[in-house]
């Protein structure tokens, strides 16, 4: 059976990724407001009624800005590491908060969500791979470096949200102070275009049908530049730009019919209720 995926928001102003089957879905991060999350999902025929849990990658505000309101409104369980929980103030009752640990897999309906630690300048950050009936989608953003764990998980994916945060020349020639440039590129910040491309070219599975270029810096990257770069090497993989100001279309991954799901997605739609931590 297929997975249906969309980048609801991607960038330093907010991050949120939707992954689900025809019955159950999860959000990875909730970095835009509850109202804007609902609005963007509704435009693509996606319903919060299908979302069964939220998984939090880390405590930076562009990943948790809408978390408390969203979790409370829909009474959603929130899965996050102990370090992440300690590092942020959440107005969420204890009964909705669940710890995750490295290499743990959580079952949400028909979805299996595998959590693993990553390198990032946060308290206890995690990435996730969501699997359903052998179809896997990874969320690989806010990654300071490509470690063996990232390589192994990425190589399993049928689709991936992959960070392409900055172009090296644009970053080093840009307006950011030197210490911040070093923080971004120093192994605990973000992936550059070339680092992400190396992962994509050398370790992608033959099954990888879609790569979503994610978490682009507004100041240190250029959408046309990075899209052109990946399209030169994409072969059979569709390259999708995940934007900061609007959601992507819904894509069906697996199930024999990969591609965009036209709006309204009648199999998915139901009635819907109507500060970055540092510069990136």
In this predicted model, what pLDDT tens digit does every residue of 70-101 receive, in sequence order? 999 999 999 999 999 999 989 999 999 999 99
How sure is the predictor about 262, in pLDDT bands with cuts at 50, 70 and 90?
A: low
pLDDT of 43 higher than 70: yes
Q: What is the model's pLDDT at position 269?
A: 43
Q: What is the pLDDT of residue 256?
A: 75
Average pLDDT over the chain reads 93
Residue 46 lies in a domain: yes
d(CA 66, CA 2): 28
Residue 275 lies in a domain: no
Please state the three-class secondary structure of 222-275 as a single string: CHHHHHHHHHCCCCCCEEEECCCCCCCCEEEECCCCCEEECCCCCCCCCCCCCC
pLDDT in tens, 209-218: 999 999 999 9
Residues with Cβ within 8 Å of residue 245, at least 6 apart in sequence: none
For range 246-259, the mean pLDDT: 88
Look at residue 270 and tell me if it is in a domain: no
Residue 252 is assigned to a structural domain of this protein: yes
Using the predicted structure, report yes or no on whether residue 162 has a pLDDT greater than 90.
yes
Q: What CATH number does the domain containing 90 carry?
A: 3.60.15.10
Dump pLDDT digits (tens) for 113-156: 999 999 999 999 999 999 999 999 999 999 999 999 999 999 99
**pLDDT at residue 257 is higher than 90:** no
- Start-to-end CA distance of the chain, whole Å, equals 37
Read off the pTM: 0.93
Given a cut of 80, whether residue 263 has pLDDT beyond it is no
Q: What tens digit of pLDDT does each residue of 50-59 get?
A: 999 999 999 9
* Dist CA 218 CA 160 (whole Å): 21
Q: Which domain holds residue 192?
A: 3-259
Nearest-angstrom CA–CA distance, 225 and 167: 9
Residue 274 within a domain: no
Segment 159-184 shows an average pLDDT of: 97
**Structural domain contains residue 268:** no
Decide if 137 is inside a domain.
Answer: yes
Asked if residues 11 and 215 have their Cβ atoms less than 8 Å apart, the reply is: yes
Q: Is the pLDDT of residue 110 over 50?
A: yes
Is the pLDDT assigned to residue 270 strictly greater than 50?
Answer: no
Cα(126)–Cα(143) distance, integer angstroms? 9
Instruction: List the one residue out of 166, 160, 157 whose CA is nearest residue 222.
Output: 166
| Lowest model confidence (mean pLDDT) among 39-53, 73-87, 240-254, 261-275 | 261-275
- Would residue 255 count as lying in a domain? yes
- What is the number of domains present in the chain? 1
What is the pLDDT at residue 71? Answer: 98
- In the chain, pLDDT over 90 holds for what percent of residues? 90
């Amino acid at each position: 059976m297929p997975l249906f995926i969309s980048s609801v928001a991607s960038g330093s102003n907010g991050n949120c990724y939707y992954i689900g089957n025809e019955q159950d879905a999860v959000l990875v991060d909730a970095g835009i407001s509850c109202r804007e999350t609902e609005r963007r999902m509704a435009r693509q025929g996606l319903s919060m009624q299908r979302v069964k849990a939220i998984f939090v990658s880390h405590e930076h505000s562009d990943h948790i800005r809408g978390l408390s309101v969203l979790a409370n409104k829909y009474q959603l369980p929130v899965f996050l590491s102990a370090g992440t929980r300690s590092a942020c103030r959440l107005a969420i009752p204890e009964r909705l908060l669940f710890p995750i640990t490295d290499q743990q897999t959580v079952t949400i309906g028909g979805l299996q969500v595998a959590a693993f630690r990553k390198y990032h300048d946060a308290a206890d950050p995690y990435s996730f791979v969501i699997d359903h009936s052998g179809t896997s989608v990874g969320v690989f953003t806010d990654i300071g470096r490509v470690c063996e764990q990232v390589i192994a998980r990425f190589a399993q994916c049928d689709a991936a949200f992959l960070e392409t945060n900055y172009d090296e020349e644009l970053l080093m020639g840009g307006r950011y102070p030197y210490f911040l440039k070093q923080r971004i590129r120093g192994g605990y910040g973000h992936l550059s275009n070339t680092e992400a491309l190396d992962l994509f070219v050398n370790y992608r599975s033959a099954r990888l049908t879609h790569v979503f270029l994610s978490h682009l810096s507004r100041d240190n990257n250029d959408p046309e530049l990075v899209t052109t770069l990946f399209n030169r090497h994409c072969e059979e993989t569709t390259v999708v730009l995940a934007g900061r100001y609007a959601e992507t279309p819904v894509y069906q991954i697996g199930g024999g019919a990969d591609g965009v799901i036209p709006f309204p997605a009648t199999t998915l739609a139901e009635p819907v209720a109507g500060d970055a931590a540092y510069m990136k």
